[in-house]
Amino acid sequence: MVEIPPFRNEVVKDFRDPADAAAMRSALDHVKGELGKHYPLVIDGRKFETERKIRSVNPADPDEVVGFTSAASKEQAGEAIEAAARAFRSWRQRTLPERAAYLFKAAELLRARRFEYDALLVYEVGKSWPEADGDVAEAIDFLEFYAREALRYAQTQPVVPIAGERNELVYIPLGVGAVIPPWNFAAAITIGMTAAAIVSGNTVVLKPSSDAAVIAAWFVDLLHEAGLPPGVVNFIPGSGSEIGDVIVTHPEIRFISFTGSKEVGLRINELAARPQPGQKWIKRVVAEMGGKDSIIVAADADLDAAVEGVALSAFGFQGQKCSACSRAIVDQGIYDEFVEKLGKRVASITVGDPRDPKNFMGPVVNEAALKSIARYIERGREEGRVIAGGKRSGDRGYFLEPTVIVDVDPKATIAQEEIFGPVLAVIKAKDFEDALAIANNTEFGLTGSLYTSDDAKIARARDDFFVGNLYFNRKSTGAMVGVHPFGGFNMSGTDSKAGGRDYLLLFMQAKTISRKV
């Protein structure tokens, strides 16, 4: 039997350590010299430059081009799917331990280049140093964790013995998958979804987010450097609205692994449900989508801890995490004190170019996001009282102030729709039961947190706070691979629990084999 080494999470860098800070500064300099390069499509291991390019820019300084990625046409997307189908014939025959070895190798290469990947995330999506490093550390964790999971599924699976037959159950792959990640965890989610699909024996077409195509190109190169055979991962950047439907509806596609917004996820789910001529299977859709995550602050909470947890959850990476707190639901008994303390805490948040580690918040990802969030803030002015932020910060780059809007009705637009930016709605609750009812009143169900010192409230929330990831007396962000398997309920998605023991099953099917003896 194959020995499974114990899994341990990567430790996130503490940039107060002068050696790590120096390594990060040097990586930022080095990666600056790499900016503006061209990245081709990769189909069947061969690289193709196309005339049409996706221009990836630094959101802190949009004149700075991070890279140009070739954009796949619909025909090229089809060719990539055909290449993946050809590669599947041999890749599926590799054993799970053989495939796991590629992930272990990729993890080793990524660990060696950790600071460069951190630096690229600072330039490409505007992450602060710790946020960038958390993203890359999580990517390494996914590679290590899913490799071990593959070894576990390679073991003999228990079936009930019966006289006269020898029975076994084995896990086999599905086929060709489309991997469609978002930009906000441009390392972790892209790498995690791809790794899970291929280690299970599938081949894929990877269509990265148009806002984070360069880091995906780096990763595809790294996989080939790790020795991955051609055609197992095919790289087809392109606008989702142009080539997304072609990929999703292609009859050779067996599954779609998507993380992104509710709107796109639901569209994919609907399109994938319709069988196409020549299609022999029901497509499987794994769709992890948006959130409208709440932190409840009960009257008996440690108020300082709650203020800190809410501020970090709402404004870390500019509120652009699916797990970000966008609603603080506060018991009326402590409401005024909470609001006052939160206002002061938020006033201390620094906003600016994330190359400078003194800035806690960087820019939002692009101009469309800036405008959409600004519209929500204007709406918020009608739906509550702005006590912090509310404006753009600086005139270059897509910076917004951390914004807190208080006295918001639980059914207001800014209390119901995912804003995906640094905007927090504060809602007053009559008591804990009222707070819990408010927390459950959206169509989402991703993360939630409760600050309380009362075990009875914890027990109540454990049963009835309807979210996929529930936390007590801590922030609602920062799920760790293996420790906090991640995924949400209702319109937050299919609850795939990325980084958990059930995840690889979504990329495999079980075959039962019986032999008369």
CA distance 123 to 109: 21
Decide whether 115 or 420 has the Cβ nearer to ligand NAP: 420
Give the angle subtended at the CA of 298 by the CAs of 494 and 380, to the nearest 5°: 65
**Binding-site member from 200, 202, 452, 492 for ligand NAP (CB under 6 A):** 492
Per-residue burial over 131-151, b if 16 or more Cβ lie within 10 Å, else e, is bbbbbbbbbbbbbbbbbbbbb
Decide whether 239 or 350 has the Cβ nearer to ligand NAP: 239
**Could you tell me if 125 and 183 are in contact, meaning their C-beta atoms sit under 8 angstroms apart?**
yes
State in angstroms the smallest separation of the CB of 394 from ligand NAP.
23
Integer CA distances (angstroms), 301 to 309, 312, 334, 473, in order: 12, 17, 9, 8
- Count the neighbouring beta carbons within 10 Å of the beta carbon of residue 2: 12
Site membership for ligand NAP, residue 372 (CB under 6 A)? no
Catalytic annotation on 288?
Answer: yes
Site membership for ligand NAP, residue 422 (CB under 6 A)? no
Decide whether 260 or 380 has the Cβ nearer to ligand NAP: 260
Using the rule CB under 6 A, give the single segment among 169-177, 184-192, 304-312, 405-413 that binds ligand NAP. 184-192
Site membership for ligand NAP, residue 126 (CB under 6 A)? no
Catalytic annotation on 382?
Answer: no
Integer CA distances (angstroms), 138 to 11, 143, 170, 209, 386, in order: 10, 9, 29, 18, 35
Site membership for ligand NAP, residue 209 (CB under 6 A)? yes
Decide whether 134 or 181 has the Cβ nearer to ligand NAP: 181
One of 131, 149, 288, 418 is an active-site residue; which one? 288
Site membership for ligand NAP, residue 95 (CB under 6 A)? no
State in angstroms the smallest separation of the CB of 246 from ligand NAP.
9
| CA nearest to 352, candidates 394, 413, 303 | 394
Site membership for ligand NAP, residue 384 (CB under 6 A)? no
Decide whether 165 or 270 has the Cβ nearer to ligand NAP: 270
Decide whether 91 or 503 has the Cβ nearer to ligand NAP: 503
State in angstroms the smallest separation of the CB of 312 from ligand NAP.
18
Integer CA distances (angstroms), 35 to 38, 119, 214, in order: 9, 11, 10
One of 79, 82, 322, 418 is an active-site residue; which one? 322
Decide whether 361 or 406 has the Cβ nearer to ligand NAP: 361
Q: Name 425's bridge partners.
A: 327, 405
CA distance 287 to 267: 10
| CA nearest to 407, candidates 385, 376, 382 | 385
Site membership for ligand NAP, residue 203 (CB under 6 A)? no
CA distance 442 to 291: 9
Sheet holding 61-70, edge to edge: 37-39, 61-70, 53-58
Site membership for ligand NAP, residue 184 (CB under 6 A)? yes
Using the rule CB under 6 A, give the single segment among 84-92, 138-146, 453-461, 486-494 that binds ligand NAP. 486-494
**Binding-site member from 418, 426, 429, 447 for ligand NAP (CB under 6 A):** 418
Residue 456 DSSP label: H
**Helix (H) / strand (E) containing 403:** strand 403-406
Looking at residues 294 to 333 of the shown chain, list those that interact with ligand NAP (rule: CB under 6 A).
Answer: 322
Integer CA distances (angstroms), 451 to 44, 300, 345, 408, 428, in order: 51, 8, 17, 20, 15
Looking at residues 230 to 289 of the shown chain, list those that interact with ligand NAP (rule: CB under 6 A).
Answer: 239-241, 244-245, 248, 259-261, 264, 267-268, 288-289
Site membership for ligand NAP, residue 210 (CB under 6 A)? yes
**Binding-site member from 126, 384, 390, 488 for ligand NAP (CB under 6 A):** 488
Positions touching ligand NAP (CB under 6 A) are 180-185, 189, 207, 209-211, 239-241, 244-245, 248, 259-261, 264, 267-268, 288-291, 322, 418, 420, 446, 486, 488, 492-493
Q: Could you give the residue numbers annotated as active site? A: 288, 322
